[in-house]
Each structure stands twice: as structure tokens, then as C-alpha cells.
A and B are shown apart, each in its own frame.
Chain A
Amino acid sequence: MQPPSRSERSPTTALLLGLVITLAVVVAYSAYIRVQLAGLRKLQSDMVDRGRKDSLQLLRLQNDLNTIALAMRDMLDAGEPYPLIAWSAQFERVRGDLDSALRLEEQYTEVHRTPEQRAYLSQQLFQFWDAVDRMFGLARDGKDSEARDQIRLSLQARQAALGTAVSRLLVENNEGEQQAAGQIAKIYDGVQRQLYIFLTAALIAIALTSLYLIRSNRQIFARLATLSEQRSDLAQKLIATQESTLRHISRELHDEFGQVLTAIGSLLSRVEKQVPQGAPLREDLQEVREIAQSTLNNIRTLSQALHPVLLDEQGLESTLDWYIPTVEHQTGLKLHYEKSGAAFPLDGNAGVQVYRVLQEALNNVKRHAGAQEAWIRLQFDEDAISLEVEDHGRGFAPDARHQGIGLVGMRERAELVGGTLQIVRREGGGTIVRLVVPMEKVEAHGG
């Protein structure tokens, strides 16, 4: 036996290798992405998120400072009917909001600013509120004019300085955000580049594996087709050889032994006539003649069973007319035989195959179906001849994995004459074996 060629080797190893390579690429890329994402998250939480939250608080501070500026403008408005102390509640509200904003702002800037930087804003605000308290102290004492001077000379300037400080911090935050944005963009570029490489590698791996798989599949299918063809040829040759052998034996039995026994019978009749009536020899001769006749009958039956001469001489219909009562007699099955359609002659080969299928089907009915009756239908259509054998027995499911030689034989015979064989389960129990042979196939095989 030759070792399998390179093209016939199993593709499993190569496929596994492809899978391992693909998985390795995915794992490597996932690890890379994980590292990059961790870096990105850190950058975002450390720089961007904190910066944004800090900016929001700075904007809140700026808004509060603007509100204070507007209030101070109103306080200096000579047309205001209210004393300056009326604004104290408004200032208290703003103060509460400013303190809250400053507390939050300091939390977000722990990382980025020095303690001195952080202290600056709170000190400035402390001094501002101290001045505000003193201004309202004057207002409470009815010294609105002096309080207004305080606003003009001190508070407005302090408010402006605080506004500038907050604006500067906002600008710093903005610059920080821009730097962070630059770093983030770099990370995204790197990830994008790696993504393209990964995708290319994965695509190449998938394409190579797929091409290899397609090629292997093609080879496997081609080999399967060849094997199938070889097997079919072999089966058909076997059938042809079997038929030829059986026909030969049948002929020999019929022609040689039949004639010899017929001659022996004739001779014995003649000798018997020469022996006087009542002589013991005459009885013996008669007995021998009957034995010879019985042997002749058996020979003929065997010959017909092996290969009905009728098939070759009178065709399928006549053969079935003879065969079916014979089987009925031999097996005890009750057979219902129907013929329909305009009969046409079949060539010997086709007739034999139909006959053999019938034989095997009836054999199955007897052996496996457990039925006492069977229905045989032979139908001649314009374009095909069909044979159906139906029983109402246990039925059996044709299992591709465990088909007996009988079923395989029936299928091969059907294929031999270009027909189809169906074995179907009958509703209500039983089996129908249906053979259909197209007309042109019969003619093609005729001759």
C-alpha cells in the first residue's frame, strides 16, 4: 500500500496551526489595547476629567463674582430706594455658593497646583469677604455713604482681582486640557495604526486558512467521487457476473440434465412396455421412471429459480405470471398482483433486474415484515415502467448505516438500469418498495 501523497494528507494540522496563529494575534492585540486603554483612562481621569470639573467650578466662581459685581453696581446706583443692608442676603447666598464652588475646586486641583497656588485664591476670597463684612457693618450702622466708598475703593478692585485670578486658572486649565488632548490624540493614532496592522494580519491568516481549506475540500470530494464510482462499477460487475453465472447454470440444468432425464424416462417407458403386466420388474421400472420424472421436475424448478428461461424467451410479464403463483405456493404468502398500462417489451437485462428486485422485495416481506399478504403492482407508463411491492407488516426504516446486502443489491440493480429505488414507510404500517425505470433507459439498455 502506498503512503498518502502530500495532497491526500489530512488538513487538520495546518488548520490548527492557522487557528493558533489567529488566536495568538487576537490575544496579543487585546493585551496591547488593554494597556493603551488603561493609559487613556488614567490620562482622562487625571487630566481631562479633573480639568473639566475644575473648570466647571471655576466658571461657577466666575459667575458668582459677576453676580457680586452687578450687585455692587446696583448698590452704587443712586436711584436705588433700598438701603445697602438690603443686599446682605443676596451676598450671603452668593457667598454660600462661592464657598461650595471653592471647596470642590480645591479637591480637583490637588494634583496640579502647589499648596501656595491653592492657598492664593482662598486667601484672596477670605480678604474679600472680610472687606464685604466690614462694608455691611458700616451699612448696618447707617453709614451708607462710607460703605459705598468701601465698595468703590476696595471691593470693586478686589472683585476684579479675583475675577482675573479665576480667569487665569481657567486659561491654565484650558492649556492643560489641550496638552492632554494632544497626548490622547497620540494614543489614538498609535491604536489606530496597530488596529490596521492587526486587521491586515488577521485578514491574511483568515484568507490563507480559507484557501487551504477550500483546496483540501476539493481534493476530498474528488477522491470521494472516484471511490463511489469504483464501488458502483464493482457492484455492477458483480451483479453482471452473478447473472451470467446463474443463467449459465440454469441453462445447463435445463438443457443437459433435463434432456438426459427426459431420455431416461422415455427409455424406461419403452422398457416397461416390454415387461409383462404384473411382473415385479414392471413395478420397479415404474418407480424408477417416477423418480426420474420427479428429479426432472426439481431440476426444472431449480433452473427457473436460478434464472427463469421464460425471461429470455417470453419476457417479464409472462415470467411474473408464472413466478408469482409459484412464490405464493412456496411461501404461503397471499399475493395480489395488478398490471396496468400498455405493456411494452423490455430487454433481457432490464427484465432481469426488475425481476430480481421483485424477488428480493418478496423475500424481505417473508423474512422481515411478518406479513401474510403483499400487493404487487406493475405499471407501464408512457415514459417509464414502475414496480411496487407493498406489505402491511411491521415495516422497517432503511438505515443508511446498516443496510443489508439485499437493499444494497436492489439499489445497485436499479442504478444498473438507470432507475430509482424508493423504500418508504407506509402510513398505518408496512413498507412500499418502489422501482421506477425510465423508458429511455430501458431502450438504452435494450438491444
Chain B
Amino acid sequence: MNRRDFLSRYGKAGLLSLTIPRRLTATSAAPTFRLVDVTQHAGIQFQHNSGAYGGKLLPETLGSGCAFLDYDADGWQDILLTNGMEWPGHKRQRSTLRLYKNNRNGTFADVTKAAGLDVEMYGMGVAVGDYNNDGFPDILVTCVGQNRLFRNTGKGTFLDVTRASGLSARQAFSTSALWFDYDRDGLLDLFVCNYVRWSPEHDVFCSLDGKHKSFCTPEAYRGDTCWLFHNRGDGTFEDVTATSGIFDSSSKSLGVAMLDYDQDGWPDLLVANDTQPNKLYKNLRNGKFKDVAVEAGLAFSTEGKARAGMGVDAADFENSGKPGIAITNFDNEMIGLYRAASPGTYDDISIAAGVGLPSKNTLGFGCSFLDLDLDGALDLAVANGHIEETVRNIHGNVGYAQPPQLFLNLGAGKFQDVTANVDGGFAEPKVGRGLAYGDFDRDGDLDILLTTNNGPAYLYRNDQLAGNRSVRFRLVGAKSNRDAIGAIVRIFYNGQSQSRMVKGGSSYLSQSELPVTFGLGKRDKIERMQIEWPSGAKEEFKDLAAGQSYQCTENKGITPMAGF
């Protein structure tokens, strides 16, 4: 490098250092939060059972999901962990999903049996939504075979209404699912991802060495269509997969996220497909959808390859008012991080943003945008773990157990992987799968729940170290669906704004809490808050103090709560 180059390069760097926002330089150092592993202390003693007995059956690789939900509507987030079971003919133990009730003191009580959820099934994902608008969240557990719908009685118990709801007419290898009101009729409809056409009876023999059975890649199986079920409002659902244009027998779907990509107020869907093009289902506002993923630049990688999409999330990580997207992929494929470029198209900024290269040797599953350090910019948390136990023998730099990753949003489209700097054991390698967030201890920041394949679940409590503050909103729909899923909340302060969507689904097989959290840094209030309800109604509230939660009921105003 000659002197001119040196001066030019470092001179510019020097000038840049004067113009980079202060937040960037501050967060480049140690994170201003800690993720403390409180699994044991909280009493979460969960062990996932993939049913693995040596048969190397495809579902054994996919793990299980998790959810933060307030099943008893007491304002404290409870935890649900789905579970697999033994394969027919190989029974050694009984395993069921687990429901943990929040004891409001940092611990949880296992209420699975009391809640009537002590049911064996090969569970995969979970979607939580109050489909009957009774004020208590109901649970759909996706399964290999028959999915199960559990209606919340409101008395701490659940009823299996799979058959009564009409969902028993369909069986497949289901994965992620979400509740959303696609026709804005005030009733939550159900979208279910299906992976491939697989059953234990039709398992295909695959081998790496020609002798021993190994897990097959999805190419070995036919794809299967996702399902869309319309909520009739009488406790039953109608399969509108074919008539809505969702039907696609080539899909191999693992993750789904809802978003309003075209800002028209109608919820669209983004489906992550494994080795098949991703699908962006644009809501045509007439009960039909159209796949526009190719036009939007989301179907393929920038090289034109259909990647192995696993988890997906959509959120306004640029604070531009438009949702960006993250899709986790196989190792050597990198996370796809997309920024909204107008109109209705996306650019993969993964490498430029600093997310691509750190995720090159990881296999990502669950992923969520959340403001971990409450600085006002959404960060990205990713659960990683390979599907093949012996992968290190083939790719020396890729392990079966992999550290999850935290990408702190530095602003200006840049992220920084700070996993190694976060205290509390979060960076320990795991065979991660599901990932969800929620404020279980009601201290105003977001805690993380993470599941592993054939292993324990982990609960990480977020402890803020820099005194950053937040404001949280719990929305209750009236004309809209009661969970207000699909509502968009925007806050405004000092010429800046943030937005969140109340959403089900996202991540992988998992669901995060429904209340929305905004990080505010050191600010003690916001100037304005707007809600765009799924019904189309809009409301605005002014001068709200930070450091607490608010309950907003559609057309009935806002109620501050004591603390969070």
C-alpha cells in the first residue's frame, strides 16, 4: 500500500468514525445484556424424544418446537414444549409435550397432566391462537401424522377438538404452523406447513457408504402442499388450500412467517422451503393468494439456487416501517437476510450486513428478530445445529452441536455476531431447533426459549446491564380477532419510529409471545403510538411513559399496567 492509498483509506475511515452513530461504536464492545441459563432454577426439566432407535427415520432430524403463551390469561407468560414419541415397534418410554405454568417468581410448574395435554403424539411444531375468541389461547400441535387442536376451556384445561374441528380429515408430515386472519373477518384461520410425503411405512433407504442407513435428504421424497384452513366461526374449519391458491404439491415447507410485505393491510405469508423455492403468498384480499416469491427476490438465493430454508422471521429491523426478512438455511448456504426494497421486492444483504459469513458454517433452524439490548433496533437470534451426527467426519469445520448466534443490530444495515461475548452459557454448542422469546419474568426485556433435538430445552433470562428501558403493549381485539394477530403497532419519538406486528408463527416450529416490546434505550417516554388493527381500524395514543406495559383494547382506549 502506498502512502496515498494509506491516507485515502484511513483518512476516510477517520472521517467515517466521526459520522457513525454513537450507538454503533458503543455496541461494538461488550453487549449490554446477559443471557443467564435459568433452565434448572425455573424447573424446566424437559427432554426431547425424537424416537431415534437407529432406524434413521427422517423426522428424527427435525427436533421440536416451543412457545411462550399465557394459557391462563394471568398476564404471565407460560411455556409449552412439543415432543416426539417412540416409533411403532420400538417403544421404550412414554413422552409427551409439556406445559409449564409460570409461578410468577421465576419458576414454573409442570401442569401438563392437569391441563389434559398428557397425550402421546409425534409432535413437531406449535401454533398458539385464540381461534374461538374466548380470551384464552388455544393450541395447535403439528405432528407427523395427525395434527392436534386443543381448545382452551379457560379453566386451566384443554380439550382435544381435532375431530370436532374438522382438522382430522388431513394427515401429513406437518412442521410449522400459524394462526392469522387472512380474510379479516375477526376469526383466526390456520396455516400449516407440510414437509414431504413420508411415513414410517414408506421410509426410503439412503446411505452415505452404501452399507449403513443414513438420513435421507428431502430430495428423496415428494413434496407436499401446505394447508390453509378457514375458520367458520363455529368451532370448525374448512380446508381452502385448493381454492385459495395455496395448493402446491412441490413444496417442502419447514417455516412460515406472516407479514404485510406490500403494506396493503392484508396479511401475506412467507414460507421457507427445504431444497425448493421459498414461497411468498400475496394476499389478494378476496380469499385467494398468489405466489410472488420469484418477483420479490425471495424464492432463490442470489445465485439462483433453491436453498434449504428452515426457519423464517419477518420484522422491521431497519425501522423503516417495512418488514425485513431472515431465513435460516443449511450449512454452506448462509442465512438469507433481506431488506425491503420498494416496491414489493427484497435484496439479500446478508453478506454486507455481517450475517452471511458468520453463518456459512452453521445450519440454522429457529430465528427471531427481537430487541435484546433494548436499544431500539431489532437484533437477530438464531438456533443452530446440524442434522447429521457424523457431519464433522465429512466437513471438518461443521459440527453436529453448534453455538446459537446473536447478531446485534448496529444500525445502518450492519449486524455483529456477539454470541461469544454474551455471558451465561448461551454460546455453548447445542443441536438447536426451536426458538421463541417472551418476557417471562415481566422485567421489560425479552427472554429466550430454545429447544434441542433429542436433548433438553433451555430458558435464558435476559438481564439488562446498561439500564436500557422498554415499553410493551398487549393488544386485545374486539372487531378484530381477540389476539389482535396481524395488528401493526408503531411508536414515534424524537423524529424516529419503530414498528412491530402482533404475529403468530415465525421462527421454526415455534411461537413467541403475542405482546409487543419496543426498546427505547435511555428514553423515558414516547410521543405517539399508533395501532392499525386487523379490522382496518386505526387508533393513536400520545405521551406514553417508558418502563411499563399497556393494555390496548380495540376502540376502548389504553390502560397502563403496574410495571410490565
Contact = CB atoms under 8 A, between A and B. Distances in A.
Given A67-B250, A74-B222, A87-B249, A93 B242 contact: no
A71 B248 CA distance: 9
Interface stretch (A77-85, A125-133, A425-433): A77-85
Interface string B228-250: 00000000000001110111111
Interface in A75-120: 81-83, 85-87, 89-90, 93, 97
Given A83-B242, A89-B246, 13 more contacts: A67-B250, A81-B170, A86-B225, A86-B241, A86-B242, A86-B243, A86-B247, A87-B247, A87-B249, A90-B247, A90-B249, A93-B248, A97-B294
Contacts of A81: 169-170
Contact of B222 (A70, A86, A89, A93): A70
B174 to A, nearest CB: 14
B170 A71 contact: no
A90 B241 contact: no
User: Which of under 10, 10 to 19, 20 to 34, or 35 or more describes the interface residues of A?
Assistant: 10 to 19
Interface centre among A67, A71, A93 (most CB of B within 10 A): A93
Nearest to A56: B304
Interface in B237-266: 241-243, 245-250
17 contacts: A70-B222, A70-B249, A70-B250, A74-B249, A81-B170, A82-B241, A82-B247, A86-B225, A86-B241, A86-B247, A89-B246, A89-B290, A89-B291, A90-B247, A90-B249, A90-B250, A93-B248
Nearest to B289: A89
A90 B223 CA distance: 13
B223 to A, nearest CB: 8
Contacts of B294: 97
Contacts of B225: 82, 86
Contacts of B245: 89
A89 B247 contact: yes
Interface centre among A87, A89, A90, A97 (most CB of B within 10 A): A89
Nearest to A67: B250
A86 B225 CA distance: 10
User: Which of under 10, 10 to 19, 20 to 34, or 35 or more describes the interface residues of B?
Assistant: 10 to 19
Contacts of A70: 222, 249-250
Contacts of A93: 248, 291
A148 B195 CA distance: 26
A327 to B, nearest CB: 57
B353 to A, nearest CB: 29
Contacts of A82: 225, 241-242, 247
Interface of A: 67, 70-71, 74, 81-83, 85-87, 89-90, 93, 97
A71 B169 contact: no
A34 to B, nearest CB: 32
Interface of B: 169-170, 222, 225, 241-243, 245-250, 290-291, 294
Interface centre among B241, B243, B248 (most CB of A within 10 A): B248
A71 B222 CA distance: 10
A87 B250 CA distance: 11
A97 B291 CA distance: 12
Nearest to B223: A70
A308 B450 CA distance: 113
A81 B291 CA distance: 22
B247 A71 contact: no
A157 to B, nearest CB: 21
Contacts of B247: 82, 86-87, 89-90
B341 to A, nearest CB: 21
A74 B242 CA distance: 14
Which 8 interchain pairs have the tightest Cβ spacing? A86-B242, A86-B247, A89-B245, A74-B249, A82-B242, A90-B248, A71-B249, A93-B291
Nearest to A66: B250
B250 A85 contact: no
Contacts of A85: 242
Nearest to A94: B250
Nearest to A84: B242
B7 to A, nearest CB: 36
Contacts of B290: 89
Interface centre among A67, A81, A86 (most CB of B within 10 A): A86
A70 B249 CA distance: 9
Contacts of A97: 294
B124 to A, nearest CB: 20
A97 B225 CA distance: 20
A82 B247 CA distance: 9
B221 to A, nearest CB: 12
Nearest to B294: A97
Nearest to B247: A86
A121 B530 CA distance: 56
A94 to B, nearest CB: 9
A189 B248 CA distance: 53
A341 B46 CA distance: 103
Contacts of A86: 225, 241-243, 247
Contacts of A90: 247-250
B66 to A, nearest CB: 30
A67 B248 CA distance: 11
Contacts of B170: 81
A90 B276 CA distance: 14
B284 to A, nearest CB: 11
Contacts of B222: 70, 74
Nearest to A89: B245
A93 B170 CA distance: 25
A87 B248 CA distance: 7
A17 B241 CA distance: 86
A87 B246 CA distance: 10
Contacts of B249: 70-71, 74, 87, 90
B169 A89 contact: no
Interface centre among B249, B291, B294 (most CB of A within 10 A): B249
B246 to A, nearest CB: 8
Nearest to A85: B242
Contacts of A67: 250
B248 to A, nearest CB: 5
B121 to A, nearest CB: 21
A85 B222 CA distance: 20
B242 A71 contact: no
B228 to A, nearest CB: 11
A81 B248 CA distance: 13
Contacts of B248: 89-90, 93
Contacts of B291: 89, 93
Contacts of A87: 247, 249
Contacts of B250: 67, 70-71, 90
Contacts of A71: 249-250
Nearest to A70: B250
A67 B250 CA distance: 8
A83 B239 CA distance: 12
Contacts of B242: 82-83, 85-86
A82 B239 CA distance: 10
Nearest to B172: A81
B394 to A, nearest CB: 28
Nearest to A93: B291
A97 B242 CA distance: 20
A67 B241 CA distance: 19
B145 to A, nearest CB: 15
Nearest to A82: B242
A93 B247 CA distance: 11
A97 B292 CA distance: 12
